[in-house]
Amino acid sequence: MSRPHLLVVEHDDKLRTTMINDLTELVGLSTEIVGVSTAEEGLTVAEQVIADSAVLPVAFVERTLPGMSGAELALTMHADPVLSPTRLVLVTQAASLSDVDAALSRGALQGMLTRPWSRIGLREQLRAQLATYHVEHDPDGLDVYGDLIQPDDRRRARRRIAQRRAAPGSGDDDSRHVLLEPRLGPDEVVDRLVAALDQVLGHPPRLRVGPGSVLLEQGADVGGIYLILEGEVELRRHTDAGHRTVHREGTGPIVGLLSLATQQHAFLEVRAVTEVRALPVSLGQLARAVAAESDVGPLLTRTLVNTLANRLRDADDLQVRIDVLNASLEAERDQLAGALDALGEAQAALIQQARMATLGELAAGIAHELNNPTAALARAAEHLLTDVINLLDDDETADRIERARHREAAVSADLRAARRAISEHLGDRSLAERLVGAGVTDLDEATNLARSPATIERLTIANQLGTELRNITTASARIGDLVKSLRSYLRGGEDNPIVVDIDITETVEDALRLVGHRITTATMERTYEPIPSAAVRPGQLQQLWTNLISNALDAAGPFGHLRLHIDAPDPAHVRVRIFDSGPGIDPAIRHQMFDPHFTTKHGHVSFGSGLGLSICRQIVDAHGGTIDLTSEDHDHDGTVATVVLPVDSTLQTGEATA
Amino acid sequence: MNRLAVLIIEDEAEVRDALRRDLKSLGATLRIETADDIADARAALDDINADGDLLALVLADHRLPGTSGVDFLIELNAAPATAATRKVLVTGQAGHADTIRAVNGADLNHYIAKPWDPAALVSVTRAAVSDYIIAEGINPLPFVRDLDGPRLLEAYANRAADH
């Protein structure tokens, strides 16, 4: 029987010699080693060896050769039924395998040897390849290799040979054990699968690719699977909306199997995220491994189950994340809707504000325009009087007109009293009524006039004329006052400049001088403590104190008591408190007392009084201070008005001092 | 003979004067009284009663010191002596709610807005007092010339027929 042959195809003489020497050292004389320098020569030698009825278990082929490449030689031999049993080990220096993909995926390459090889690496490669070859093709030839093939190797080989000879697929009890073994972790399963595949397939070559390399394209025919040994791959899907990563951490150690099992094109793209070391296994290799090694099937199944379980968990996780995301999107949408509502309200408020501002300008314009007719009215009343007096040549009538014009407005009760008195005096109610209508209240005058009814008639008209002129003057003066207070309110006191070094106590005293005529029967107590001087608008403050003191006097009543207390609660603020002995503030009106137009003093609206507290608040705000009216001070029965002003109000208004 | 009185309640002297002056044409027929506020109105009413006269009509301002004109009209409506008295609100700014209250609670007969038309004021006064005369069964003849003549004459004719 002829010796088995080993073929070395290497263009470089030196490398070929080294390889032949290293192999000789391993196999001794048991094997014939043939070295050639091209693939074409190698093919001829291989065919010759087989033709000589010798076996050619392994060929070591350099990857880069002039002419036919190592991969092409592998494919050619793989396609030839006579040469296909020979196990082809590709010798290469490069880590990249781009031009050997076809050979790898069709199972034409059975091993890879990286140059420079180690002796141990070469020996392990040779051992595995020889064992596999002989188990599959030449069961009896395994013994010739001496020390290279150990007794263990032979035993294992014998068992595998026995399994091959038994009916394929019958399996044994161990297979169920591997599938169901609960303590077998996923990594361990992969390790064992890889070991089993190595054994059956004679240590198939590993693929090493860089990050971003595509191992399997979406839609491509799937010819095998990849076992990921190191590194990380992701499964991606191209959609109209771009690339979507479907699995990354949950990819698992095995890719391509799902498509392979369902005979479909690759559903997803397999792409390396990091540098990846993978074991490509073709469909044919897989079938062979499953048939040859009873553990492979269960291990494969288990790995697949683990992989699918991982991906399912990944998908479940994704679903939960989508739900959470949806919930938070919904919350954000609600929040947005709320914000939109608030925006609408703010806008409505702004529109209202703008409308009020327009109204304010309009009011200021009208107020200004009212000055002319009001002045005309007042002057006309004056001139009317002059003209009427000139027209008359009757001093008594003229005097009666003048008297009526300068008389205080009549009080109804006084008129009734006068009428009653005259009626009793003259004994004629109707006459008394006419006399009172003529402005007569004096009994003697009444007695004199009673004798000349014609005079009464004339004096009545004169009295009316005077009264009407007085009413015109009073009414136009009131319009003038209303216009003035309205304009002052609308302008916000811009006519009042800020003055530094003002003693606020003096502004209070000024105000007291203005309202002093009102303090007749009421009593007042003043406590002035030393206070720092301040930068304020003194004109406005005077208006403020006038309003507050007037209010307090109104509340206290004619025989009430007022107490003024001025002090400095801290060096930066001045506090003015006005206590009155009045009935306090009705809680029902508390909330509206700072509103414009609110007044409880008269039966009608008056800007002079109705805007009082509203103006007070405006002035205090402009000074950056606070105003507070309370009736809930337990030490005091009536109302306390408290105004606190900062010493330097320019800090609040940001205006330059004058 | 008892006289029929018209009471003007108005707190502003100038307005009070103007109202009284505008009703002066009725002064020969009716007793025109004024009051400055509600308390004064009560005093004037006392005077009218003391003289044996009848309060036929009240012209009240809507806003008066202390109590509102509406409150006083309601009070008059509740008292038997003045329930039949005609009530007219003269106002510059009655709130809608207050006007409704006056119509419902005081049996308000009319509402005159300030500034008023003097002719309308006189005409409303004539009609209101005529209503009072007819409702109270007072002899209408002395009032035919100055008040609502046709209606008063018709009332007189009906009165004569009843007797």
B47 inside 8 A of chain A by CB: yes
Nearest-by-CA chain B residue for A411: B36
Strongest mean pLDDT among A298-307, A438-447, A496-505: A438-447
Nearest-by-CA chain A residue for B14: A471
- Residue contact A412–B17, C-beta within 8 A: no
Read off the pLDDT band of B35 (50, 70, 90).
very high
Average the pLDDT over A435-459 and give the result: 89
Encoded tokens for B24: 């002066």
3-state secondary structure of A565: strand
3-state secondary structure of B150: helix
Query: What percent of chain A clears pLDDT 70, i.e. is strictly above it?
Result: 87
Total number of residues shown for chain B: 163
Q: Which of A410, A413, A416 sits opposite B13 (nearest CB)?
A: A410
pLDDT (0 to 100) of residue A104: 74
pLDDT (0 to 100) of residue A327: 92
Q: Which of B35, B65, B92 sits opposite A602 (nearest CB)?
A: B65
**Mind listing the pLDDT tens digit for each residue in A116-153?**
888 888 888 888 888 888 888 887 787 788 778 888 77
**Mind listing the pLDDT tens digit for each residue in A510-525?**
778 777 666 767 788 8
Residues of A with a Cβ under 8 Å from any B Cβ are: 409-413, 415-416, 420, 429, 464, 467-468, 471, 474-475, 602-605
Read off the pLDDT band of A170 (50, 70, 90).
very low
Q: Across chain A, what does the average pLDDT equal?
A: 82
Total number of residues shown for chain A: 658
pLDDT (0 to 100) of residue B67: 62
Average the pLDDT over A490-518 and give the result: 74
Q: How far apart are CA B111 and CA B104, in angstroms?
A: 13
Q: Which of A165-179, A436-450, B35-49 has the lowest mean pLDDT?
A: A165-179
| A334 vs B162, more confident | A334
Closest CA–CA distance from residue B31 to any residue of chain A (Å)? 10
Average the pLDDT over A259-288 and give the result: 82
Give A413's contacts in chain B (Cβ within 8 Å): 35-36, 40, 43-44
What is chain A's Cα-based Rg?
58
Nearest-by-CA chain A residue for B24: A437
**Mind listing the pLDDT tens digit for each residue in A455-468?**
898 999 999 999 99
Helices assigned H by DSSP within A272-295 = 283-292
B53 inside 8 A of chain A by CB: no
- Residue contact B33–A603, C-beta within 8 A: no
Does residue A354 carry a pLDDT above 90?
A: no
Give B40's contacts in chain A (Cβ within 8 Å): 412-413
- Residue contact B12–A604, C-beta within 8 A: yes
pLDDT (0 to 100) of residue A429: 86
Does residue A632 carry a pLDDT above 90?
A: no
Place of tokens 């390849």: A129
Give B115's contacts in chain A (Cβ within 8 Å): none
| A595 vs A621, more confident | A621
Does residue A397 carry a pLDDT above 80?
A: yes
DSSP per position, A182-227: TT--HHHHHHHHHHHHHHHHTSPPPEEE-TT-EEE-TTPBP-EEEE
- Residue contact A602–B11, C-beta within 8 A: yes
Order of strands across the sheet that contains A233-239: A214-216, A269-272, A233-239, A242-247
pLDDT (0 to 100) of residue A650: 60
Helices assigned H by DSSP within A492-537 = 504-515
CB pairs under 8 A between A and B: 49
Read off the pLDDT band of A607 (50, 70, 90).
very low
| A646 vs A365, more confident | A646
Q: State how far the alpha carbon of A483 is from the alpha carbons of A369, A399, A610, A611, in Å.
A: 10, 33, 14, 13
Place of tokens 């206070």: A531
pLDDT (0 to 100) of residue A42: 92
Q: Which of A331-340, A410-419, A475-484 has the lowest mean pLDDT?
A: A475-484
Q: How far apart are CA A556 and CA A550, in angstroms?
A: 10
Q: Which of A540-554, B49-63, B134-148 has the lowest mean pLDDT?
A: A540-554
Read off the pLDDT band of A106 (50, 70, 90).
confident
Average the pLDDT over A197-211 and give the result: 84
**Mind listing the pLDDT tens digit for each residue in A64-77?**
888 898 888 988 99
Angle at CA of residue A556, ends A553 and A560, nearest 5°? 105
pLDDT (0 to 100) of residue A357: 72
Indicate left, alpha or beta for A527 from its phi (over 0: left) and psi (-120 to 50: alpha).
beta
> Could you report the predicted ipTM of this complex, rounded to two decimals?
0.84
| A357 vs A1, more confident | A357
Q: Name the nearest CA neighbour of A606 among B36, B12, B9.
A: B12
Give B44's contacts in chain A (Cβ within 8 Å): 412-413, 416
Asked if residues A56 and A44 have their Cβ atoms less than 8 Å apart, the reply is: no
**Mind listing the pLDDT tens digit for each residue in B52-108?**
999 999 999 876 655 667 888 888 999 998 999 999 988 776 566 667 777 777 778
B52 inside 8 A of chain A by CB: no
Read off the pLDDT band of A177 (50, 70, 90).
low
| A356 vs B143, more confident | B143
| A175 vs A461, more confident | A461
Nearest-by-CA chain A residue for B33: A412
